[in-house]
Structure 1
Amino acid sequence: MPVLLDLRGAKSSDVEIGTSPISELQACLHSLAEPDHHLEYRSWLMKTDESLSPDLRHRLTQFAPLWARRRCRLLLPLSGPLDASVDTEIERISQLSEREFVEAAAYSIHGGAFDPRQAVSRPDEFVAACEARSFSRGEAARLLIRDPEEFRTALVRTLADCVEEFFAAEWERLHDRLRDEAEQTRSRLRGLPLAELISSVSMAAQPVQGGRAVRFDKLQNLTVSLRGNRTLLVPTIHGRPHLVIRGEEGFPVVVHYPVAWHSRPESIDEMQRRLTILSDPARLALCRHLVNEAITTSDLARRMSMTRPQVSRHLAKLRAAGVLTSQRSGRYVYHRVDVDTLMRIGVELLRAIVR
């Protein structure tokens, strides 16, 4: 179930690359609502959560359906140009028509397969559908339908309070890194065909159909035409490992892509290969011996009641998976499991799954 960007008729001049503070704020709010998806930011998440005022924490819980599962279109760039201030981007929410606001909010509040126009045409059915999904979604849906302008005012105030309590400082810390990433992507645009440029922002993307489309490996079944549409490429740090692609009618297409880690994220195929190696019962048993102390091949063979060649073949597999270190001391070579690498496999698996 891929996301396909149809490039037929699209022009490079319609692609804008830049930063969006409101998008990064939404990424922060998502990670606060779903901390288990963002293990590398655990320290920042705990510190930020503890610093929130009780009133803001309560309101973030109320509004969490907007960003917990499906990122809200309201909190991505609603128009160009990019590199605007967070205050300008928040103000754009206030400038939407009531219908545009309700439909954009309803789509994320429901969080499933749903035509957001029904929130306006059949509001009772929309509320019931949200209640069936969860209590919090039902509560948010009721508040939205009962008084859309009150809901909007409360949301805008909550976003402004987030900026004041924690995001202004975080954006100051991240802005230069995101700006540099956007500038690097702009430089690639000058030398690459459009399909290669767009696919270059993510390991999950590749040009297809002879460069007439870009395919993203996502758990969505979505095709978005870029013909006549403005397309915004927006880098994120707090959003990683998630790649967010939105193409609602009436708004620019947005590709909110994670800035690369210092090391290249592993693909699903690479992760599956490593897990297959580690799942072998004999190799798991070897790891149990090697995790506590460094051991020679001969000693492992004796402990495991195996021949030296058998042990050597298993050790070679563990080395190929990147979890074995070997060090010579005199006549002997001692092997040991690299615990840090083994722990990182869990984080890499999570990145690959939730991307």
Structure 2
Amino acid sequence: MSVRIDIAGLPPERIVFEPSPLAELGLALHALAEPGHHPGLHGWATATSASLKPDLADRLCEADFLWRTTFSDVFMPFAGLRGHHGRPAATLAEELDVLDRLDDERFVNAALEFTCNQTYDQGRPSPLTDPAVAAESLELAATRGPRQTDFTRRLLADPAAVRAWVRRLIEDCEEAFFADTWRRVQGQLAADARHKTELLRRKGLAEALTAVSPALSVDEDRRYVFLDKLAQGSTTAVDPAVGTGLVLVPSHFGWPHLLALHAPGWRPVIQYPVATGELPAPASVELLESRLEALAHPVRLRLCRNIARSPYTTGELAHALGISAPEVSRHLSVLKKAGLVSTRRRGRYVLHQLDVTVVARLGVDILEGILR
């Protein structure tokens, strides 16, 4: 499974790395709403939450579905504005001005992503003009709770009022905490964008994408960029009706998320966490699936119980489990292919041992893969 971005024929200068204050605020709000996703940000999240005035905290709670369970494209309006250069602005105020220039239909669809995520990359009629889609949006919002229902009803009835409310909320967040936060992280994000731009210029797209994340890749013909995610979707960076270009946005608050804007009619955007020495390389979805499948078999679990304690030969395992040596070899082969077992030779014996470090990290890898 992956998200695929068509870049066939895209000029290199149309692939850009740039920070976005509004996109960064979206992830900062997510970190406040879901601190469990971001263990490295607990201190910041606790201090920031404690400093919020009750009125602002209540308003953030009212709208947190825009960033808690999904990442609304309203935080990347530069990608959805026709006739725009398709790149982030330097300041939050400028990006909010771009957000104001989105037409109501585009804003409403982006704000209602929490009710239509199953059709995200396929598009759907506007709920402002299609009564059936409006009814479906309200019905789906009702399954998620009264706040979502009320927000959806107000948005469909008076988009202009909700847009003004959202802008005031974001401006109040900037005043309360984000202006200071952005001053602290902006230099780091700009430096990362410059480094990746230079890497793209000197060593090419494949090298630059690998530096962004091991979960990003490009095919040999440089036709597609792939994001290794549990999500599945596709989009294009070369649609002349939308505007060509691919923007990669670094984020201080992003890990473990690797976000892809791939809505129809929008330029694609990838928002990625800026790497630090503390962040492990993400395991691929394919590798996670192979490890879970390897451990799902009861015989292989019994094998793991033995070889977790000390190295065993194939013959010893066959005797311990009461099965044939060839059967043990077949199960060990599956475990080795999944990277769970190592082997070493001692004289004429071949010893097998469980890699307990890999197994201990498996739960974290699964969580990161799901959240990516």
> Does TM-score exceed 0.5, indicating one fold?
yes
Partners of 2:290 and 2:136 lie apart in 1 by 44
User: What residue in structure 1 maps to residue 366 of structure 2?
Assistant: 349
Residues 46-125 of structure 1 mapped to structure 2, 5 A cutoff: 46-78=46-78, 80-82=86-88, 84-113=90-119, 115-123=123-131, 125=133
Q: CA deviation at 1:124?
A: 5.9
Q: Contact between 2:137 and 2:152, CA under 8 Å: does it hold in 1?
A: no
Aligned with 1:347: secondary structure? helix
The alignment yields a C-alpha RMSD, in angstroms, of 4.0
Partners of 2:361 and 2:275 lie apart in 1 by 16
Aligned in 2, Cα 1:58/1:80: closer, same or farther, shift over 3 Å?
Answer: same
Percent same amino acid at aligned positions? Answer: 32
Q: Contact between 1:244 and 1:255, CA under 8 Å: does it hold in 2?
A: yes
TM-score relative to the length of structure 2: 0.72
Aligned in 2, Cα 1:83/1:132: closer, same or farther, shift over 3 Å?
Answer: closer
User: What residue in structure 2 maps to residue 325 of structure 1?
Assistant: none
Aligned with 2:88: secondary structure? coil
Q: CA deviation at 1:210?
A: 2.5
TM-score relative to the length of structure 1: 0.75
1:224 correspondence with 2:236: yes
Unpaired runs of 5+ in structure 1? 289-294, 296-304, 307-316, 323-336
Q: Contact between 1:16 and 1:232, CA under 8 Å: does it hold in 2?
A: yes
Partners of 1:194 and 1:269 lie apart in 2 by 23
Q: CA deviation at 1:206?
A: 1.8
Q: CA deviation at 1:204?
A: 1.4
Q: Which amino acid aligns with 1:239?
A: G
Aligned in 2, Cα 1:278/1:221: closer, same or farther, shift over 3 Å?
Answer: closer
After superposition, give the CA deviation of every residue in 1:34-71 in whole Å (9 maximum; x if it has no partner): 33322332332222222222211222222222222331
Residues 163-242 of structure 1 mapped to structure 2, 5 A cutoff: 163-194=174-205, 196-198=207-209, 200-208=211-219, 210-218=221-229, 219-227=231-239, 228-242=243-257
Partners of 2:248 and 2:363 lie apart in 1 by 29
Aligned with 1:183: secondary structure? helix
Partners of 2:5 and 2:301 lie apart in 1 by 43
User: What residue in structure 2 maps to residue 8 of structure 1?
Assistant: 8
Partners of 2:359 and 2:174 lie apart in 1 by 38
Q: CA deviation at 1:75?
A: 0.4
Q: Contact between 1:196 and 1:207, CA under 8 Å: does it hold in 2?
A: no
Q: CA deviation at 1:173?
A: 1.8
Q: CA deviation at 1:106?
A: 2.8
Aligned with 2:221: secondary structure? helix
User: What residue in structure 2 maps to residue 329 of structure 1?
Assistant: none
Q: CA deviation at 1:284?
A: 9.4
Partners of 1:248 and 1:229 lie apart in 2 by 14
Size of the alignment, in residue pairs? 331
Q: Which amino acid aligns with 2:149?
A: G
1:246 correspondence with 2:261: yes
Q: Contact between 1:195 and 1:214, CA under 8 Å: does it hold in 2?
A: no
Q: CA deviation at 1:193?
A: 3.6
Partners of 1:97 and 1:129 lie apart in 2 by 19
After superposition, give the CA deviation of every residue in 1:307-332 in whole Å (9 maximum; x if it has no partner): xxxxxxxxxx9xxx99xxxxxxxxxx
Residues 127-146 of structure 1 mapped to structure 2, 5 A cutoff: 127-133=135-141, 134=143, 135=145, 136-146=147-157
Partners of 2:298 and 2:114 lie apart in 1 by 44
Partners of 1:164 and 1:70 lie apart in 2 by 24
Q: Contact between 2:237 and 2:246, CA under 8 Å: does it hold in 1?
A: no
Aligned in 2, Cα 1:159/1:343: closer, same or farther, shift over 3 Å?
Answer: farther
2:275 aligned to 220, 242, 260, which one? 260
Unpaired runs of 5+ in structure 2? 79-84, 311-319, 322-334, 341-354
Q: Contact between 1:107 and 1:116, CA under 8 Å: does it hold in 2?
A: no
Q: Contact between 2:235 and 2:264, CA under 8 Å: does it hold in 1?
A: no
Q: CA deviation at 1:175?
A: 1.4
